[in-house]
């Protein structure tokens, strides 16, 4: 097993320039340092200063072709049209800024088209503004904010709603931050990141964002839609402290479906401190899960995340036919609660390989997670799930149903605690000991290293946490002082040459006592 390395994404900070620093000037466009737009009191023959603002986005687009300047829309007003920027490259010391003037946000109404369209630009900063479309089923056909072939951009404090495709769409972009954005009531996805190749899309950070109630694209009849946050064909993307919920319920087809937060055909993706809950899919369709590392994903990581009550799997590990090889991925210090509620065949962890080639789905380490499921299997293997070198280690599995469903091959289980209040059966075996003796699972050098004991978690096991900054309040999955799991976790560095993280789910050092514990909580 290779060492697993966390990608640390470093993105330059874009400096803030106060609107107070701009001069008020009524002379000519050559001396304009900022354009002010006022739909109520402006006039398109004005110079565009704060005292004499212009009125429309149409006029603003014409001015920008002659003179580049920051833009301020008067707060509390609605501006119809598509703001278009092409080939604008602001200096590193003064990013080109688009924002609202005043304490209340302005709204750009794109109608049936984009609200903001940015192409081949650099150093653009969009902040404190909302964008709207006419609705995914009522006329709009586009993305809301579309940024393509651009770099060194920031999107901050933006709400995007009512677009048929994605609320925010990044295509072939690099060194971009999307922070504190809310995307709701869109079709294909809340936030979509994609490249034509991995080399043209990357060094992107999505932070403190929420993707909620993005139901599906009514025109997309041959592929998934209704995703929360989606990354494809990219290299170096971090999704941090984000939330996805109630997406995917109106996908207009059966077949492969949406997921709350996921990636495909990408390298070095980190999903951390995120919550994905109560996501859905179309009736009798697939997926509708919490998180997913899908076809062609490599060297990627899901950590410190919470998934609960999704219709599909909490954590999907998937490979589809025709994708690049999937390998070297990690899921650690995560929680799944009652996932796989309605989607056929799924569970808390769900493994599928549509290529039927086990060399296409390899090398995954799944350790120090906690799974509670009273409705579906803990781990489910699709009939087509050929894979190799998947290691499940130091996990706590709590189930009232059969914990493992489907064909179990290509896996190693070691140091896990399997506990059910209803049955000790594991697959077709009467208990853990019988399974271990027959298969060699949960064994090391002839000794049983797995456990089948009540872990003595504090409880309760259900939750309604929706704020990623409140994950430490998930106290039900901490161990009681007399837990039989104390110091019973395997040393992953010794056995698997893994560089472990420095903290557990709750921020405690790892290790904290004389040894590791299975699960997400380190004991003194």
In the structure encoding, which two tokens stand for residue 161, read together?
């709603």
Residue 421 has pLDDT above 90, yes or no: no
CB of 359 within 8 A of CB of 387? no
CB atoms within 10 A of CB 200: 16
Q: Which of 112, 214, 197, 202 is nearest to 159 (CA)?
A: 214
% of the chain at pLDDT higher than 70 = 94
In the structure encoding, which two tokens stand for residue 171, read together?
């295509």
Q: What is the pLDDT of residue 77?
A: 98
SS3 477: helix
In the structure encoding, which two tokens stand for residue 113, read together?
């088209």
- Kindly state whether residue 483 falls inside one of the protein's structural domains: yes
- Kindly state whether residue 374 falls inside one of the protein's structural domains: yes
pLDDT averaged over every residue in the chain: 93
The C-alpha torsion from 102 through 20 and 155 to 467, rounded to 10°, is -60
SS3 7: coil
CB of 520 within 8 A of CB of 504? yes
In the structure encoding, which two tokens stand for residue 478, read together?
């901490």
Q: What angle do CA 225, 234, 137 make, to 5 degrees?
A: 20
β-pairing, 235-240 vs 202-207, is parallel
Enter the DSSP assignment of 233.
S
Q: Which of 167, 243, 236 is nearest to 209 (CA)?
A: 243
- Kindly state whether residue 335 falls inside one of the protein's structural domains: yes
Q: Which residues of 485-507 are buried (b: 16+ CB within 10 A; e: fewer)?
A: bbebbbebeeebebebbeebbbe
Q: What does the pLDDT look like over 440-492, one tens digit per residue?
A: 999 999 999 999 999 999 999 999 999 999 999 999 999 999 999 999 999 99
The C-alpha torsion from 186 through 188 and 193 to 197, rounded to 10°, is -160
Q: What angle do CA 105, 109, 110 make, to 5 degrees?
A: 140
CA distances for 355 relative to 262, 384, 385, angstroms:
19, 8, 9
Give, for 60, the enclosing helix (H) or strand (E).
Answer: helix 57-66
- Kindly state whether residue 491 falls inside one of the protein's structural domains: yes
CB of 193 within 8 A of CB of 166? no
- Kindly state whether residue 509 falls inside one of the protein's structural domains: yes
Domain that holds residue 414: 316-524
CB atoms within 10 A of CB 172: 20
Q: How many domains does the chain have?
A: 1
| Secondary-structure percent of the chain, ordered helix, strand, coil, rounded to 5 | 10, 40, 55
Q: What does the pLDDT look like over 340-389, one tens digit per residue?
A: 999 988 999 999 999 989 999 999 999 999 999 998 999 999 989 999 99
- Kindly state whether residue 468 falls inside one of the protein's structural domains: yes
CB of 295 within 8 A of CB of 320? yes
In the structure encoding, which two tokens stand for residue 410, read together?
């290509």
Q: How far apart are CA 98 and CA 494, in angstroms?
A: 52
Q: Which residues of 303-327 are buried (b: 16+ CB within 10 A; e: fewer)?
A: bbbbbbbbbbbbbbbbbbeebbbbb
CB atoms within 10 A of CB 360: 23
Q: What is the pLDDT of residue 188?
A: 98
Question: Which residues, other chains included, contact 62 with Cβ-Cβ below 8 Å and sequence gap of 6+?
Answer: none
Q: What does the pLDDT look like over 6-63, one tens digit per residue?
A: 333 334 443 333 333 333 333 445 567 899 999 999 999 999 999 999 999 999 999 9
Q: How far apart are CA 13 and CA 99, in angstroms?
A: 18
* Residues in a beta bridge with 353: 319
- Kindly state whether residue 329 falls inside one of the protein's structural domains: yes
Q: How far apart are CA 462 and CA 441, in angstroms?
A: 30
In the structure encoding, which two tokens stand for residue 155, read together?
């999107």
* Residues in a beta bridge with 330: 301, 365
Q: What does the pLDDT look like over 151-185, one tens digit per residue?
A: 999 999 999 999 999 999 999 999 999 999 999 99
- Kindly state whether residue 309 falls inside one of the protein's structural domains: no
Q: What is the 3-state secondary structure (H, E, C) of 27-59?
A: CCHHHCCEEEECCCCCCCCCCCCCCCCECCHHH
In the structure encoding, which two tokens stand for residue 35, read together?
């354009």
Q: What does the pLDDT look like over 322-351, one tens digit per residue?
A: 999 999 999 999 999 999 999 988 999 999
Question: Which residues, other chains included, contact 321 with Cβ-Cβ below 8 Å and sequence gap of 6+?
Answer: 354, 355, 356
Which residue bears the tokens 């404190």?
128
Size (the chain), residues: 524
Question: Which of the four pLDDT bands, split at 50, 70 and 90, describes residue 499?
Answer: confident
């Amino acid at each position: 097993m290779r060492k697993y390395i966390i990608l640390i994404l470093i993105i330059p900070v874009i400096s803030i320039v106060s609107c107070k620093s701009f001069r008020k000037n009524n002379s000519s466009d050559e001396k304009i340092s900022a354009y002010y737009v006022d739909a109520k009191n402006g006039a398109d023959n004005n110079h565009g200063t704060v005292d004499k603002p212009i009125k429309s986005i149409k006029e603003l687009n014409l001015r920008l072709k002659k003179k580049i300047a920051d833009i301020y829309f008067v707060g509390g007003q609605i501006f119809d049209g598509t703001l278009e920027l092409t080939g604008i490259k602001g200096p590193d010391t003064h990013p080109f800024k688009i924002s609202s003037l005043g304490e209340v946000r302005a709204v750009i109404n794109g109608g049936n088209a984009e609200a903001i369209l940015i192409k081949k630009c650099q150093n653009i900063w969009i902040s404190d503004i909302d964008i709207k479309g006419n609705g995914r089923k009522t006329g709009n056909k586009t993305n809301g904010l579309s940024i393509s072939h651009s770099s060194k951009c920031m999107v901050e404090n933006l709400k995007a709603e009512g677009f048929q495709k994605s609320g925010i769409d990044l295509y072939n972009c690099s060194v971009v931050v999307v922070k504190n954005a809310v995307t709701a009531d869109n079709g294909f996805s809340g936030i979509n990141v994609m490249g034509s190749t991995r080399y043209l899309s990357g060094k992107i950070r999505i932070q403190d964002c929420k993707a909620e109630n993005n139901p599906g694209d009514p025109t997309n009849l041959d592929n998934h839609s209704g995703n929360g946050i989606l990354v494809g064909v990219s290299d170096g993307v971090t999704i941090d402290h984000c939330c996805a919920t109630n997406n995917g319920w109106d996908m207009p087809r059966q077949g492969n479906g949406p997921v709350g937060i996921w990636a495909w055909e990408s390298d070095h993706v980190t999903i951390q401190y995120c919550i994905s809950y109560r996501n859905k899919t179309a009736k009798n369709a697939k997926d509708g899960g919490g998180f997913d590392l899908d076809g062609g994903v490599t060297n990627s990581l899901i950590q410190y995340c919470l998934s609960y009550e999704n219709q599909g799997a909490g954590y999907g590990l998937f490979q589809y036919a025709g994708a690049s090889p999937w390998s070297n991925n990690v899921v650690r210090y995560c929680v799944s609660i009652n996932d796989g509620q309605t989607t056929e065949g799924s569970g808390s962890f769900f493994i599928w390989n549509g290529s039927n080639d086990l060399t296409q789905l390899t090398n995954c380490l799944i350790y120090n997670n906690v799974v509670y499921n009273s409705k579906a299997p803990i781990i489910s293997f699709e009939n087509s799930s050929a894979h190799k070198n998947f290691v499940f280690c130091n996990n706590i599995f709590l189930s009232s149903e059969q914990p493992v469903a489907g064909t179990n091959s290509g896996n190693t289980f070691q140091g896990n605690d399997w506990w059910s209040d209803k049955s000790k059966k594991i697959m077709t075996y009467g208990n853990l000991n019988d399974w271990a003796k027959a298969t060699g699972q949960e064994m090391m050098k002839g000794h049983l290293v797995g456990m089948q004991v009540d872990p003595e978690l504090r409880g309760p096991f259900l939750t309604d946490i929706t704020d990623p900054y409140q994950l430490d309040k998930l106290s039900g999955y901490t161990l009681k002082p007399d837990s039989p799991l104390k110091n019973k976790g395997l040393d992953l560095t010794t056995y698997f040459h893994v560089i472990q993280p420095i903290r557990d789910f709750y921020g405690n050092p790892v290790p904290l006592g004389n040894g590791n514990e299975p699960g997400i909580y380190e004991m003194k």
